[in-house]
Structure 1
Amino acid sequence: MRLKFSPALEQLLDLILAELPDDQALYIVGGAIRDILLGRPLHDLDFVMPDDPTNLAKKIAHKRQVGFFVLDDERHTARVLFRQRGNQIFPLDFVQFTGEDLHSDLMHRDFTINAISVSVRETGKLIDPLGGIKDLAAGLLRTCSDHSLTDDPVRVLRGIRLAMQFDFSYAPGLDALMTEASQYLPHTSPERQRDELFKILEGSDPAEGMAHCRQFGVIKSLIPPLMEQEDIPASPPHTLRLIDHSLKVLEYLKQLIETPKDLSTWWLLDFRSLFGRFSEHISDYLEEEITPGRSKKGLLMFAALLHDIGKPETFTVGEDGYLHFYNHAQIGADLAWNAAKALQLSNAESEWIRTVVQNHMHLLPFANRAKEPSRVDVYRFYQETGEAGAAVALLSLADTLATYHQSLTLDKWQNALMVSEVMLAAWWEAHQTVVSPTLLLDGNDLQDEFGMAPGKEIGEILEKLREAQAAGEVTTRELAAAFIQTQIKGIE
């Protein structure tokens, strides 16, 4: 394998060399070398050198008039922020060696495929003391040492993410090392846990990634209540053990929100034919961020993973022998909130996840009765869920698929599609009329035209008016006035 630098990267390295003193060494390390060898686009660059790189980074930033700041005074780590075309940030991180020399620095890294280096002065000569190039060619993930993971247990999550991202296999013995190290995850930074976990959830195969997290003990360490699902058997109409059901929901959800190459599955064809017009809306919606750096896709995957987290706590067996989970959605919503906050998600993100989990059963009664939701049903659904309602509608479909799995029938699926289609159509095609209609009369009108005194009664009547408008029962200002008059008489 040989490095092939883009013209833009060559230009960037020339700029850095111009500021680098002749007697100083500087090396590119980490994922950038790996990605160049794999022909993948770069998103950042990491540099290491024997001395404190802060002054060098500052000179480069000053020369190009770009952003600069110190990441870690103690570890002598600085960052320079370049901008690419399209105004995207391209960070350069400069770090002093971890250890006495470059070899020691590479030995302290996580995986051999990330421990390949090159001097900025000799870019044609790869430095690979740990065999990372060979592992890269073989598609193997191997640690730099037997203690790489226990030195930093968050690397277990990174290893799972890399295996999913590149479709790599684990080197012999790595599974045991990952299982051992995962028990120390609770002693690491929750922010770092969160960031790696969400890269898995937003990645190419979140279901498989979370299956690996289950296998290596990551879920047990980070979300203990979720692992209690291991003890819950399948309960009709569910055909899978509870923990397997939760992971299967992720698998189906990914197929629903992304366009797979194989559209031969009958249920997916039905979904595409009915929901195709929402494809762009769904994609844009899931790319939105409540907090910068995490998409709603990742939040939805996290909520999907946790949607039945309340079942172990509410598990009972009735006299009829059937399993029951009364109030599991509400209990689960609180547990999901706790899990989100433990990972340092923002309050807004945690509330969004809580809303999705709490309402994941909301649409089921309509589908079970083959009943199309009315405009009032739609309005009340979105009053309960807000903009998280679109996520609930998508999760509801994945939950249906995972519940019945191979026993899914055409009528069950079509009923579920019908309900979610009504909800999504209202959100994206009838928002101003059904989801959140503009009031025909407001609080000032109620005071000026009907002589009402300020107070909670005005808000209550206006909410009833908005629901009547959403239902299509009140469509003009005159009808709104008559509706208000009737409501006032009812409280006199």
Structure 2
Amino acid sequence: MPASFALPSILEKVMTVLPPDEEIYLVGGAVRDLLTSRPSPDFDFAAPSNGISLARSVANSLRADFMPLDDKRDTGRVVIRNADGSFTYLDFAAYRGASLEEDLRDRDFTINALALNLKDMTVIDPMNGAGDIRAKIIRACSPDSMSHDPVRVLRGVRQAAAFGFTIDKSTREWMKSAAYKIENASIERIRDEIVKILGGPKAGASIRALDMLGALSHIMPELSKMKGVTQSPPHIHDVWTHTLAVLDQLDGLLSILGPGFDAETTSDLFMGLVSLKIGRYREQIAEHLAKPLNPTRPHRSLLFLAALYHDVCKPDTRSIDEAGRVRFFDHDVKGAEVVAERGRIFNLSNDEITRLKVIVRNHMRFHFFADRLENENQPPSRKAIYRFFRDSGGAGVDLILLALADARGIRGSDLTQETWAANLDIARILLENYWERPAEVVNPPRLLDGYDLMKELNIQPGKVVGRLLEAIRENQASGKINDRYQALEFVRRELSRMDGEP
């Protein structure tokens, strides 16, 4: 029976250049997305043979880029650059088996074992995938689906979260049985699925699911040691449960701060305060998160990965002081190295690894500001704000978002309105300076360079030049230096003081 749905314009365009005498089907997730009225970023096509030559022909007709993906599986890709700079990928492959039905039955989940006949718009559905879509169930195509490709365990968890579906009981058991085999999959495939999970909805729930299925310890084993590690008040959870709570809170926070969010729709007073205190920065936050450090991996995923690792070294640094209070000295410093190593294992870029390190290394600084504001009514000085953004670089906004999620994850329902208000006030102060007073506080214009100092004051090259230049910038941020003359006078006083030191 022909299906009735609106085809995306890109698909209609592709259909005009497909060879009319070829048997070509749209298959997989793109058909699922059509049935559920979801946008699809990519389109997979299947034909009895000649997948690569089909892709090359379509690419030539559309004046798009072509690349062979897999000679063994006769798969080629067409890359279309869209007007907004994004890309649409069209993959053409020969049947995986002897027929289209065999190809579909060999796929991961029934909701993806679908094909659309592009000539008569008939949906081919040998596994009742449409029924599972209506029932909102993730069901494996066969008992061997997971063991044949264990990365499907991650994909199933991701799609369950993305679509709000439930994983079928038998499928969960098959996932558990195949979990240990994930270690044998390529690290790039594992990384790409983890990135999608962390960049999608309900990242915390997805990580919980991977853990319960026994898969997480075979992907990121260093996380397991956080389980059961107790903490002193105000923490209400052990380290692992706290970490998962932070992921949940970060997800909710980004929803509240998302473009177009209506604050009137939330019944959560504490999240409503977020909108009240820092909601005016929604657009800037969205722009910040829209800037990836790698074109194939979203910024959001990197932030959630940092959140997942922010306390990873608490088990290694746990101690108890004389008063019986649990301490975790330098867990931020050591955690930065652990998350950097995970970034290297995942083959992330140097920029991404640096960002992860900076976030984990500096994630406690915001809390010092908030504690001082709440307990001493003392907001951070201009110099402290300057140093915060200097040390965090482009990660300053990420640190603020993580810190707010961390604050809620620490106290949970014990969080008082006063404590939360102090945290939000610090966030407002920092964001206000970052976006409204950048030249005054965050990144003052350079009044002098090293050559100026050496020429004007007869200073020899060395570390002292760098220290003096940084001291000038700190005093600019503090409002104590406003022009070149004041900068030179400051340096003269500093040199005189240094000469007088024993």
Normalised to the residue count of structure 2, the TM-score between the two structures is: 0.93
Distance in structure 2 (CA, Å) of the matches to 1:326 and 1:408: 24
CA distance change for structure 1 residues 397 and 8 in 2, over 3 Å: closer, same or farther? Answer: closer
Distance in structure 1 (CA, Å) of the matches to 2:322 and 2:475: 44
Instruction: Determine if the alignment matches structure 1 residue 227 to structure 2 residue 224.
Output: yes
Aligned residue in 2 for 1:191: 188
Aligned residue in 1 for 2:215: 218
Aligned residue in 1 for 2:318: 315
Deviation of 1:231 after TM superposition, in Å, equals 2.1
Distance in structure 1 (CA, Å) of the matches to 2:46 and 2:195: 27
Deviation of 1:450 after TM superposition, in Å, equals 2.0
Q: Deviations over 1:294-314 (max 9, x none)?
A: 222111111111111111111
SS at match of 1:146: coil
Write the letter of the residue equivalent to 1:71: L
Deviation of 1:378 after TM superposition, in Å, equals 1.0
Normalised to the residue count of structure 1, the TM-score between the two structures is: 0.94
Write the letter of the residue equivalent to 2:379: E
SS at match of 2:66: strand
Q: Deviations over 1:337-370 (max 9, x none)?
A: 1222222221211111111111111122222222
Aligned residue in 1 for 2:158: 161
Distance in structure 2 (CA, Å) of the matches to 1:9 and 1:430: 44
CA distance change for structure 1 residues 489 and 319 in 2, over 3 Å: closer, same or farther? Answer: closer
Q: Deviations over 1:263-305 (max 9, x none)?
A: 2322222221110121111111111100112222111111111
Instruction: Determine if the alignment matches structure 1 residue 426 to structure 2 residue 438.
Output: no
Aligned residue in 2 for 1:289: 292
Aligned residue in 2 for 1:200: 197
Q: Deviations over 1:366-392 (max 9, x none)?
A: 222223110111111122211112211
Deviation of 1:195 after TM superposition, in Å, equals 1.3
Aligned residue in 1 for 2:452: 445
Q: 1:354 aligns with which of 344, 353, 357?
A: 357
* Paired residues for 1:34-183 under 5 Å: 34-123=32-121, 125-183=122-180
Distance in structure 2 (CA, Å) of the matches to 1:444 and 1:172: 70
Q: Aligned residues: percent identity?
A: 35
Write the letter of the residue equivalent to 1:327: D
**Gaps spanning 5+ residues in structure 2: where?**
none
SS at match of 1:252: helix
Distance in structure 2 (CA, Å) of the matches to 1:362 and 1:10: 50
Q: Deviations over 1:37-89 (max 9, x none)?
A: 11112222111112122222222222232211111122211011234453532
**Aligned residues of 1:360 and 1:395 also touching (Cα < 8 A):** yes
Instruction: Determine if the alignment matches structure 1 residue 278 to structure 2 residue 251.
Output: no
Deviation of 1:398 after TM superposition, in Å, equals 1.0
SS at match of 1:86: coil
Deviation of 1:9 after TM superposition, in Å, equals 5.3
Distance in structure 1 (CA, Å) of the matches to 2:14 and 2:465: 66
Bigger drift between 4-13 and 289-298 goes to: 4-13
Write the letter of the residue equivalent to 2:35: L
* Paired residues for 1:472-483 under 5 Å: 472-483=479-490
Q: Spell out structure 1 runs of 4+ moving beyond 6 A.
A: none
Aligned residue in 1 for 2:443: 436
Bigger drift between 269-278 and 300-309 goes to: 269-278
Distance in structure 2 (CA, Å) of the matches to 1:167 and 1:7: 23
CA distance change for structure 1 residues 12 and 470 in 2, over 3 Å: closer, same or farther? Answer: same
Deviation of 1:227 after TM superposition, in Å, equals 1.5
Deviation of 1:333 after TM superposition, in Å, equals 1.2
**Aligned residues of 2:17 and 2:61 also touching (Cα < 8 A):** no
Distance in structure 2 (CA, Å) of the matches to 1:269 and 1:42: 33
**Aligned residues of 1:311 and 1:328 also touching (Cα < 8 A):** yes
**Aligned residues of 1:13 and 1:120 also touching (Cα < 8 A):** no
Write the letter of the residue equivalent to 2:62: R
Distance in structure 1 (CA, Å) of the matches to 2:8 and 2:29: 19
Distance in structure 1 (CA, Å) of the matches to 2:403 and 2:31: 42
Q: Deviations over 1:87-129 (max 9, x none)?
A: 5322211111112221221121100010011222332x22111
Distance in structure 1 (CA, Å) of the matches to 2:450 and 2:356: 33
Q: Deviations over 1:219-244 (max 9, x none)?
A: 21111121211121343111122211
**Aligned residues of 1:206 and 1:251 also touching (Cα < 8 A):** yes
SS at match of 1:91: strand
Distance in structure 1 (CA, Å) of the matches to 2:175 and 2:336: 30
Q: How many residues align?
A: 488
Distance in structure 1 (CA, Å) of the matches to 2:65 and 2:157: 33
Distance in structure 1 (CA, Å) of the matches to 2:81 and 2:449: 48
Deviation of 1:10 after TM superposition, in Å, equals 6.3
**Gaps spanning 5+ residues in structure 1: where?**
none
**Aligned residues of 1:257 and 1:282 also touching (Cα < 8 A):** no
